[in-house]
Amino acid sequence: MRLVHKRTAPPTAINAAESILGGWIFDTLDFSALTILSEEFIWKLEDCAGVTNKADIQYHSPLYPHNHVEVYAEIVNASASSVEVKTVMKSRSIKSNIWDDIATATFHFSVINLSKNRTLVRIPKEVIDEFKR
């Protein structure tokens, strides 16, 4: 897995328990998965973009405002119709050097063509084979 996103948890995205909203965590994981997909895969396909079509997320512990956050991601599988990306969010408080697992998620992306009315694109075998090497 590779570090793809690093930031501080915002003090404005809190819930009634004073921890960070699950929606913010999900959005950050999704953004990180799309980042690695774009950097390692989509750029090889002209005028295309990835769109999330399935997500499975597990929350492990609460995230608190001002904590340091890192998200790691990797592409784990690719087929002609879908790319699977796994992500892990870790966090530590400002005064600690111990990282906690906050959430893990698996995202499945489809590829669309941006210039042809956002139609689905089959991923070429050559691109898939290059990824699997």
Q: Where are the domains of the chain?
A: 2-132
Write down the pLDDT at residue 116.
81
Q: Tell me the residue ranges of DSSP E strands in the chain.
A: 2-8, 48-59, 68-78, 83-92, 100-113, 119-120
Q: Which residues pair with 106 in a beta bridge?
A: 56, 86
Write down the pLDDT at residue 133.
67
Write down the pLDDT at residue 34.
95
Write down the pLDDT at residue 45.
85
Write down the pLDDT at residue 127.
84
Write down the pLDDT at residue 128.
85
Under CATH, to which class is 2-132 assigned? alpha beta
H-state helical runs in the chain: 22-40, 125-132
pLDDT in tens, 10-47: 999 999 999 999 999 999 999 999 999 999 888 888 88
Write down the pLDDT at residue 11.
94
The per-residue pLDDT of the chain, averaged, comes to 93
CA distance 86 to 115: 28
Q: Which residues of the chain have pLDDT under 70?
A: 133
